[in-house]
Amino acid sequence: MIGSRSKTIVIWTFVAIALILLSAPTIVVLGASFTAGNMITFPPQGLSVKWYGAILGASDLRQAFIRSLIVSAICTVVSIPVGTLAGIALAKYKVRFEKAIQIYLLLPFTIPLIGSGIGMMLVFGNMGVLGQLWPVGIACCVINLPFMIWAVTASASNLNEDLELAAANCGAPPLQRFLYITLPAVLPGVITGSLLMFILALNEFLVSLLLVDARSVTLPVQIYNSIRSIITPDLAAISVVFIVCAGIAITLLDRLVGLDIFLKSK
């Protein structure tokens, strides 16, 4: 038997190692972005914010970033109604083909993205819409939708079915029951799912790579293109901007619904 004291020490050691491993890349990038030198190095050589000035001035990076935001917005806006309705339906009703749907919900972890990416490249290519931004948004929505559905079903399964009956008993017709009772009950899940969808689309690299051309490069692809030429600290700075975006999303989530819900959603 291990004493509870030494057990605590072991557990905390593991936690510390995990935290270091998880945060090390972020810290390295953060440090490198403030370098005064012209090389990406850690620890940084001197401190300056000149690389942040540089990315502000770099119109290609800025435009790629704006394109990424548009893609994320499209992805999120499409996923909200689809994911919410699908999530509620899955939680509330005995749906046919439940097995098939469960397998679909596992897809993001099983199918290599390159596979779905190529599939969508063919579809959108045939439609002749490659090079526009909305196909990228739709593609991100399709591959990440299971996350949205999960978030919604997790809060919908807390929905006591008597609540809708009670609303009916109070005189609410079906649409009002949905709007006033069902929707607010799953709202935390919808918020969680939306932020998740937004961040995932903002970060999506592989599928974007397959679907963009020179006119519609998104930020992750733009960064990738730059790495292939020369690695300068402005890439570290733009990575920090990314991290800040994710940080804002997490903070919003915590403020709006609390992180415990986010972590609980299966």
Partner 1 sequence: MNLSNGARESAAAQAAVSVKNVSMRYDDFYAVRDASFDVPKGKFLTILGPSGSGKTTLLRLIAGFGKPTSGEIFIGGQPVSAVPPHKRVIGMVFQKLALFPHMTAAQNVAFPLKMRRHDARTIADQVERYLELVKLGGFGSRRIHEMSGGQQQRVAIARALVFEPDLLLLDEPLAALDVKLREEMQLEFRRIQKELGVTTINVTHDQREAMVVSDEVIVMNDGLIQQRANPVTAYRTPQNAFVANFIGVTNFLEGPATSVSGNEVAFRCAGHELSGISVGSGPEIKAGMSCSGAIRAEQIRVAAAPEKLADLTFRFTGEIIDAIFEGERMVYEVNVAELGGVSFRVFDHDPIGHTQFLPGERVLVGWNPKDMHVFGNNHSPN
| Binding residues vs partner 1 (CB under 8 A) | 160, 162-163, 165-173, 176, 180-181, 184-185, 187
CB-wise, 112 or 171, nearer to partner 1? 171
Q: How far is the CB of 265 from partner 1 (least distance, A)?
A: 18
CB-wise, 38 or 176, nearer to partner 1? 176
d(CA 154, CA 188): 10
| C-alpha closest to that of 72 among 257, 173, 215, 220 | 220
Q: How far is the CB of 163 from partner 1 (least distance, A)?
A: 5
Q: How far is the CB of 2 from partner 1 (least distance, A)?
A: 40
Q: Hey, is 48 helix, strand or coil?
A: coil
CB-wise, 181 or 237, nearer to partner 1? 181
Q: How far is the CB of 257 from partner 1 (least distance, A)?
A: 12
Q: How far is the CB of 158 from partner 1 (least distance, A)?
A: 9
Could you tell me if 33 and 240 are in contact, meaning their C-beta atoms sit under 8 angstroms apart?
yes
Q: How far is the CB of 187 from partner 1 (least distance, A)?
A: 8
DSSP 106-126: HHHHHS-HHHHHHHHHHHHHH
Torsional class of 199: left (φ above 0), alpha (ψ -120 to 50), beta (otherwise):
alpha
30 alpha carbon, distance to own chain's centre? 21
The residue written with tokens 């009002």 in the block is 176
Query: What does the chain come to in residues?
Result: 266
Q: Hey, is 260 helix, strand or coil?
A: helix
CB-wise, 162 or 260, nearer to partner 1? 162
CB-wise, 128 or 173, nearer to partner 1? 173
d(CA 200, CA 141): 9
CB-wise, 180 or 224, nearer to partner 1? 180
